[in-house]
Structure 1
Amino acid sequence: MSSKAFWKPPKAIRGGIPVCFPQLSNVILSVQFGNLGSLEQHGFARNRMWSLDNDPSPLPPANNQSSVDLVLKSTEEDLKTWPRGFELRLRICLSAGKLTLIPRVRNVDSKTFSFTFALRNYLSVSDISEVRVEGLETLDYLDNLMRKERFTEQADAITFDGEMDRVYLSTPTKIAIIDHEKKRTFELRKDGMPDSVVWNPWDKKAKAMPDLGDEDYKTMLCVDSAAIETPIILKPFEEWKGRQELSTVSSSYCSGQLDPRQVLYGFR
């Protein structure tokens, strides 16, 4: 969580896990949505007040976990900038060492629409220079610092010595963020969101952001679950469903175990 996060709407909170819908960036907007003008960067869902869902889908048997169901529905204000009727539901399940998020988007409009989506995971780390991300080796990525040019990851693991803003494509269902100093690994499992954004603003950009502390970049890293390269298309009354599990495990358990060719499996 940023030390300078704004806590009053309509400004998004810098930290936690913002829900990015119906787009991840305003560049994608002009391509996918015909440049509708005033749609906010990373969408408007993260800036809205959500409600408790009075009609949640049945919960599976829970083992010592707490759950809450939230819902965001299109308003007249939203329809002015993005004229698509939708219902966005989010189930949040918390248990010891694990946080599960299950987003669902339903088209309640009479026309087909498309959207991009991301769960932006702000992770707290001891020292960004000592962190490595495993599971994205050999994959293609779009570099947002190089006009979205496409590259192939050559390193055995992703490490950090400067600003990074990349969209990794067709990523495995399991990614590890290894924090050597804390001897802790965040294990990210996802389904329905094939892409992953890896972002750290580093020093210059951090100082230019009013809601991020000058030194906050040293102890944060974003690794997102996302659907970006191929927008999700929903016909009238169709529904899309994603899933993300974020858990902590011993670093020695994960390190070196995430060959992308061996982890293309779903949730167990």
Structure 2
Amino acid sequence: MMAENETGTVMLPPAKTQEAFVHIGFAKAKLTRGRAFVLAILAGAFVALGASFMLMVRADSTLSPSVSLILGGLAFCLGLFLVLVAGAELFTGNCLMLIGALDGRYPMMKMVRKWAVVYAGNAVGALLAVALLLASGFLSLQEGSVGELAYAVALSKASLDPATAFARGVLCNVLVCLGVWMGSAGKTVCDKLAATILPVVSFVVLGFEHSVANMFFLPLGVAAQSMLGIGAIPLAGMVSNLMFVTLGNIVGGAAVAAAYWFVYGRDVRE
């Protein structure tokens, strides 16, 4: 049976959650490159599964646009839920490692190096998911509507200007990191599921940009383009999207981490 904390609930209060993230970050920083990379591959695949679930839902033309967005957002929750419960290393959530670095538990450069390993692993996981989905005939589902939507999503992302991509990346990872923060404060599977739903649905409905999800959407869109035989998705636009969305994700996640550390983390020393 789960023991209650000192507040009488199974949810950690914000101050204790900040303290927990110092230890979580330390454990992540201690992971060997090999273990971090494998866990990152899993996270990239988990996010890709959530993204493919979303595409399948949104390809249903019988749904109204608003219902399609909301249901698609709920489907996309699968990715973050699997990361939190099954355990994996997700670049966007790992921006909260800044809490432990600010607390002096490990050097900033060690954190940045671990981010690089995880980012690369997430990309491999997303690409593996693309390959398996293509082999499964995913793009031809719903009479080809899934492939058409995959192309449209990738084209829209590759067409974003850098400032828009950056801003949407910031906003996205504020929500994702808040979902990870709240999910880590909970102790049960239901807590973690509940914590992921509103932040993830919000960023999907609002059209914000998630770098790891885009590692899946962009190559899948290129594959759909080949299948449909239509206009090419610009390579420069895809590179620009990933670059500026990634920078935005870092800023958004770092802002959440720094804010909570500033409020709660300094109490130990003051």
Q: TM-score, normalised by structure 2?
A: 0.26
Which has the larger helix fraction? 2
**Larger RCO (CA within 8 A; separation ≥ 6):** 2
* TM-score, length-scaled by structure 1: 0.26
Query: More strand per residue: 1 or 2?
Result: 1
